[in-house]
Amino acid sequence: MWVWSKLSGAKWMDAWEDRFYGNPNAVISKLKTQKTVRVEVYTQTKEEAETIKKQFGGSVRKLVHQNWAAITEPERPPIRIRNSVIISGARDDDARSILEEEFPGRHIIQIPADMAFGTGDHATTSTCLRFMVDIAKERNAANSDWAMLDLGCGSGVIAIAARMLGAKNCHGMDFDPQAVKVAKRNVERNGVNKVKMTETDVLKWKPEKQWPVVVANMFSTILQQAFPTIVKAMENDADLVVSGILHDQWDETRLVAEKYGLSFNRVVRKGKWITARGVKL
């Protein structure tokens, strides 16, 4: 077994927690000085550890005489999103049929915690998913023909859910090539079609079309810079969901959004995170 590790300033602890949330093999420890944290991710192969190092720096070392089972958490229970979606972290091929029997009529999504990516239970992702269920219900009831854009797609779970909920097609984008790789794997794992995942820097991207539903789950600093592009990617009556925003950063983020003609009619706080649903005025 192998472990990737990196020392970082304590002020970045929230960012590290968000980045590795849901990965049972990630450990973030605050050192005695309280000014530094150690971030560690345990992997089964050296290749996995080196991939994380390539993205974030740090170091990789081999574990000797470690009990791998002792440092991994038990499988998390399925995540229930409204009465529509069940998300499981199980890799077992039989898990889907078992969950379909336990939760008849619900969409089952399998998102194992692959390397640096969680299973969808982070406050930002789970709230985005709840908004996604609401939006899909409204648009399907109106017989709307809708598609969905997922900016900062991560594991791909929101785009996969949107497709299952009725989107005619979905496009997920992420700056992180490993995220895109994992998202594509999850699309295949869940047997959905018409879901595209691409490696894209939203700050350099120029939309060539517009979407009726846009979800942007990114850190507030990136989100604020991306608002001009997000607005260009939205149809006039589009639904927008934004997340990845710390509570104390929401007022600033909202003001920037309003400068670009966005308005939010529903704001949800879950722990220290804000997720909001809005429209283009």
Residue 180 CA to residue 170 CA, distance in Å, equals 14
Judge contact between 216 and 226, C-beta under 8 A.
Answer: yes
pLDDT of 64 > 80? The answer is no
pLDDT exceeds 90 at position 13: no
Residue 20, C-beta contacts closer than 8 angstroms, at least 6 positions apart: 26, 28, 39, 41, 116, 118
| Domains of the chain in sequence order | 2-71 (3.30.70), 116-280 (3.40.50.150)
The terminus-to-terminus CA distance of the chain in angstroms comes to 53
pTM: 0.79
Tell me the pLDDT tens digit for each residue of 170-213: 999 999 888 898 899 999 999 999 999 999 999 999 999 999 99
Which DSSP state fits 34? Answer: S
pLDDT surpassing 50 at residue 67: no
Indicate if the pLDDT at residue 32 is higher than 70: no
Evaluate if residue 143 carries a pLDDT over 80.
Answer: yes
Most confident range (mean pLDDT) of 2-16, 99-113, 129-143 is: 129-143
CA atoms within 13 A on the CB side of 17: 17
